Structure 1
Amino acid sequence: MSQEILIDLRTLDLNKTTVDIETIRAVIPHRYEMEQLNGIIQFDPEQKIIVGYKDISDKEFWIRGHIPGRPLMPGVLMLEAAAQLCTYYYKKTTHDDRFLGFGGIDKVKFRGKVVPGDKLILIAKNKELRSRRAIFDTQGVVDGKLVFEAVIIGMVV
């Protein structure tokens, strides 16, 4: 994957939620500490792209223990947030109610930090969509800067 952001974020209103948390909850089963997606800004199956976000509050469960005094969002949770975005795309595009879990993660690169107060913009571009597998290029962006990228492979479980 390249370091270029998959979509020109300047073309989006990053403060406008088109899919709210309650609508996401109707599709994504994660709750409580594992709910890592707050909203969706753009869902465009024709362009094979979805953009969502996670607002990082000072109440996140990992703050107390993930580097006390200097909390950093764990990379695994960034990937989980991206995977939840991919799952929303898969379920809404295929209308498949089965659970889509991790089948693999490739080409992971962490390029910056995510801290309380940040809005983590999540981008997923679908590369392959089959009945039992989906592959996405994903990225996380904070303040216009790429903080992670990965290829996420989802498998129906």
Structure 2
Amino acid sequence: MRPEVFKMIDRVVSIDPSLDTIHCQGLVPQESSIFEGHFPGHPIMPGVLLIEAMAQTTGWLILARNRFERMPFLASVKEAKLRTFVLPGANLDLYSKIEHEGSGYVVVKTEAKLDGKQICSADLSFRVLPWPEGKMKAVVLKVAEHVSFPLADYADA
């Protein structure tokens, strides 16, 4: 996990064959500039970054469903619940399940667990659009290799 540059996923663990659920992992770094102000003397992972990690988990699932032909953009966060503090060094298990897809949107339920216990959850919506002009798709494909995304199974790229 490199929260300073919004790379929250370290590894795609599994994607179910129906492309409805995904499991990813992210290791909260022991040291990071995000902890300098959050909070001095008691570093904790900001809740907004936990939501971002759940959103990125979902992003990988939507990319798989669309075989990397379209890109997801976070559209809304609903029912977000943050249940406890997440400390540096925590190894997060992140899950997402698609609830509905249609009209260019995907709605999911997502959660993060620590040691098997749910620490946060949210209902997220994504807009799925064509890739913007430029090198963005190529950069995402390179990140996919880094996080062990099974490109051979889910990308026509």
TM-score range, shorter chain: 0.7 to 0.9
**C-alpha distance in 1, partners of 2:122/2:94?**
11
Query: What aligned pairs does 1:8-87 form with structure 2 within 5 A after superposition?
Result: 33-46=5-18, 48-87=20-59
Amino acid paired to 2:6: M
CA RMSD between the two structures: 2.2
Report the equivalent of 1:152.
124
Shift of 1:121: 0.8
Shift of 1:32: 5.8
**C-alpha distance in 1, partners of 2:78/2:36?**
29
Report the equivalent of 2:90.
118
Q: Is the 8 A contact 2:70 2:128 kept in 1?
A: yes
Report the equivalent of 1:6.
none
Aligned length, in residue pairs: 129
- Report the CA distance shift for 1:49/1:148 in structure 2 as closer, same or farther (over 3 A): same
What TM-score, normalized by structure 2, do the two folds share?
A: 0.74
- Report the CA distance shift for 1:117/1:132 in structure 2 as closer, same or farther (over 3 A): same
- Report the CA distance shift for 1:131/1:88 in structure 2 as closer, same or farther (over 3 A): farther
- The alignment partner of 2:110 has SS state of strand
- Report the CA distance shift for 1:47/1:91 in structure 2 as closer, same or farther (over 3 A): closer
Q: Deviations over 1:93-141 (max 9, x none)?
A: 1224333111111111111111111101101011112361111100011
Report the equivalent of 1:106.
78
Q: Is the 8 A contact 1:33 1:61 kept in 2?
A: no
Report the equivalent of 1:88.
60
Runs of at least 5 residues in structure 2 that lack an aligned partner in the other structure: 130-157
What TM-score, normalized by structure 1, do the two folds share?
A: 0.74
**C-alpha distance in 2, partners of 1:69/1:32?**
19
Identity %: 26
Larger radius of gyration: 2
Shift of 1:70: 0.7
- The alignment partner of 1:78 has SS state of helix
Runs of at least 5 residues in structure 1 that lack an aligned partner in the other structure: 1-20, 22-29
